[in-house]
Structure 1
Amino acid sequence: MALTQLQISNVRNLQQVRLQGLKGVNVFFGCNGSGKTSVLESIHLLGMARSFRGSSVKSLINHESPSCTVFGTTVLDLPPPVADEGAAGVGVGTPVGVQRNRSGEAQIKIGGRAVRTVAELAEQLPLQVITAESFGLLTGAPGARRQYLDWGVFHVEHQFFGQWQRFQRSIKQRNNLLRRGKISDQELTAWTRDLAQTGTAISEYRKGYFQILAPCFKEIMARLAPSLGALELRYQQGWDRQLSYSEALAQGFTADTEQGYTHSGPQRADIRVMSGGHLAAETLSRGQQKLVVCGLKLAQGRLMAQLGRGKCTYLIDDLPSELDNAHSLLVCELLASMDAQVFVTCIDQREIRSVWPESEELAMFHVEQGVVRRHSEE
């Protein structure tokens, strides 16, 4: 999927923004604090009903407005570069809209139809985000890495989300029973059985995806940073791999009842990036870490396309930060080879023009004090 147009209302300092004729590569440049990142946040709001900054909804909404709204039009493929009324794809698209108010309520519409789950949005506009917060994939808690892994599984395995929902419900009920003190054996057995079934399914989906992700990541990193040849991805399922999940739950039952929660399971899973047998977060420089983060994100986009699940859209905030021109060029070449739609920010437009392949047409937008204008070199 790709965006052909975007309307933003009251997202931070972007009061009214209308962007049409979006291209494969869209560059937003301007001074710090001008609103460049807010454009990327708006697109993320359209695809995930929330900001990627993890801040509250209230801070996302312009302080003079009770709500913020983003509308967009998605298409399977972008229209050809030259506008032609007879060209395939022109004028064909699906309208998508998301509104958030200060109470946290979300209204979501796809094709004029109200939808209830963010999962439908994610399917409509798959997003990959590369920002300063993305370093958490290496340095942060396991939860961020599980989310990264599950993004890929969600987009390639249609049954995953249903199993994930069942698992979340089962572990919540089981933990509630464990915390009560007086446990109904029959009820606990039922929830434990369902937990074991769904947890096993989730883990198998993750393992299957990881087996194709790891070599794809290694191939991409060989292009981005061949000097980091000792990089390796490792998957930890969340319990002793010598045991089935049912066996692990039975073995941990005493500890679970004593402490009031389920210790083992896919909720404890993790993936680690290793460099020469050590955690990459502990051995690599900041610039090398950014290359690894880019490699992880690019690998997922490539896999999604290779598996026939469509193309994702990349939101990249301040690409030149932490990277020299040579490595920025390599990242851009990989993105261009994937034919993915990209929204990227920078301070000076030349920072992107100098590293993006010349064959690619760039849509340039200047952002200043919350106002976004299409920029031409003339």
Structure 2
Amino acid sequence: MPLKQLKIEHIRNLEQVNLSPLSRINILYGDNGSGKTSVLEAIHFLGLTRSFRSGQFRHLVQEGCDRSLVFAQADPLANGQSKPLGVERHLEGDVRARYAGASLGPADLAELLPIQVINSDTFDLLDGSPGTRRQFLDWGAFHADATFIQYWRGFKRALKQRNSLLKCGKIDPRIRRVWDAEFVHYAEQMTSLRQAYIDQLRPEFEAVLSALLQGVEVRLLFSPGWDQSKGLEPLLEAGFERDLRQGFTSLGPQRADLRFKVGTLNAADRLSRGQKKLVVSAFRLAQGALFHRLSNRACIYLIDDLPSELDERHCRQFCEFLQASANQCFITCVDPGYLSRIWDPETDVALFRVESGTLTHMGAPGDQI
């Protein structure tokens, strides 16, 4: 279990709260606006130094304060040793992250604390932009292979440089060949790791989906961003004049996409809203299952208002997967009654009541019945 204790300071309406002791399944309940989702944001901040609801840090920090801090006792490596993990960020932009006394960079922190978010925005995965789906894809590739981040950074640098040259209008052919070679090298390496990840994820996804959504077959496909049968280098050469007119590179991993197909149609055009929720739920659960199989470590799932997103039967099935997994979960709801009853008695579950930015540990569900 990655997180043992949690201390939150100055995040939205949470001035200073403590969550202790934490369990594997943690249910946060209370009225709307009480601060339940803010707790999830704080945990996300601990792993990624930002919120999942807003890209601007000033919206996360408590009004009238100039910094936010989240501190935990954590065992993210599953070695039975809890160590201090803390992240502090100031309005001016300064960020400090430390684990067991050592400073961490953003990639180190993200690798240490793998976090999955499931909320109303997550269920737009099928209808959203390719960029949204690439984020899901790259989360998995990043955690599946330690070299992915190196190729990702190298590709981003080469893409930025190539696009800058294209915007200039006139390019020395020798300089273009240098950056095209760099672009192709990193593009092919990064795409290979993306493809390998999807190949590993596909059977996990199909297994979970078959339990959640009977009678509908959804195929998970990967589009790399160019026709691989023709090779990226000749395609860049053939499309150079078009790229020059547009001022950006039109082919490559920056155009990659995940595709969910039902028959020959996109799942987004074929499935109902409820079915889409189940497909996305299966995808997220499969990612966590694969991560655990590859690393023998647990993910942290932040699940906002689960009962409102799934009907009772599918909510139960979803929770059965969480219960059978090794993942640590933080689930918000307004009324804890239903979520208090669906877990097996031996499952490690804790209830926290959230009221106006304060938290009270209410014990296990059995203590409330």
User: Residue deviations 1:270-307, cap 9 Å, x none?
Assistant: 00112233222223222222111111111111111112
> Which of 214, 219, 233 is 1:232 aligned to?
219
- CA positional deviation for 1:111: 1.8
User: Residue deviations 1:324-363, cap 9 Å, x none?
Assistant: 2111111011111112111111111112113233331311
Counterparts of 1:212 and 1:226, CA distance in 2:
22
Q: Which residue of 2 aligns with 1:346?
A: 333
Q: For 1:267-306, what aligned pairs fall within 5 Å after superposition?
A: 267-306=254-293
> Which of 206, 222, 230 is 1:218 aligned to?
206
Task: Flag structure 1 segments of 5+ consecutive residues without an equivalent.
Answer: 79-87
Answering whether residue 118 of structure 2 is matched by residue 140 of structure 1, we say: no
Answering whether residue 99 of structure 2 is matched by residue 110 of structure 1, we say: yes
Q: Which residue of 1 aligns with 2:115?
A: 127
Given that 1:286 and 1:322 are in contact with CA atoms closer than 8 Å, whether structure 2 keeps it comes out as: no
Counterparts of 1:125 and 1:202, CA distance in 2:
22
Q: Which residue of 2 aligns with 1:246?
A: 233
Q: TM-score of the superposition, structure 2-length normalised? A: 0.95
Q: Which residue of 2 aligns with 1:85?
A: none
Given that 1:239 and 1:265 are in contact with CA atoms closer than 8 Å, whether structure 2 keeps it comes out as: yes
One-letter amino acid matched to 2:108: E
One-letter amino acid matched to 1:251: A
Q: Which residue of 2 aligns with 1:331?
A: 318
Answering whether residue 204 of structure 2 is matched by residue 204 of structure 1, we say: no
One-letter amino acid matched to 2:321: L
- CA positional deviation for 1:104: 3.1
> Is the partner of 2:307 in helix, strand or coil?
coil
Counterparts of 1:267 and 1:309, CA distance in 2:
31
One-letter amino acid matched to 2:85: V
Counterparts of 1:259 and 1:285, CA distance in 2:
37
Distance 1:77 1:97, change over 3 A: closer
Query: Where has structure 1 moved over 3 Å in runs of 4 or more?
Result: none
Q: Which residue of 1 aligns with 2:171?
A: 183
Answering whether residue 330 of structure 2 is matched by residue 362 of structure 1, we say: no
Q: Which residue of 2 aligns with 1:62?
A: 62
What RMSD in Å do the two structures reach over aligned CA positions? 1.6
Task: Flag structure 2 segments of 5+ consecutive residues without an equivalent.
Answer: none
Of stretches 23-32 and 272-281 in structure 1, the one that deviates more from structure 2 is: 272-281
Given that 2:54 and 2:60 are in contact with CA atoms closer than 8 Å, whether structure 1 keeps it comes out as: no
Counterparts of 2:284 and 2:5, CA distance in 1:
24
User: Residue deviations 1:21-60, cap 9 Å, x none?
Assistant: 2111111000111000000000000011111113411110
- CA positional deviation for 1:103: 2.7
Q: TM-score of the superposition, structure 1-length normalised? A: 0.93
- CA positional deviation for 1:309: 4.9
One-letter amino acid matched to 2:32: N
Of stretches 18-27 and 277-286 in structure 1, the one that deviates more from structure 2 is: 277-286
Counterparts of 2:289 and 2:236, CA distance in 1:
36
> Is the partner of 1:203 in helix, strand or coil?
helix
One-letter amino acid matched to 2:360: R
Counterparts of 1:162 and 1:136, CA distance in 2:
29
One-letter amino acid matched to 2:97: I
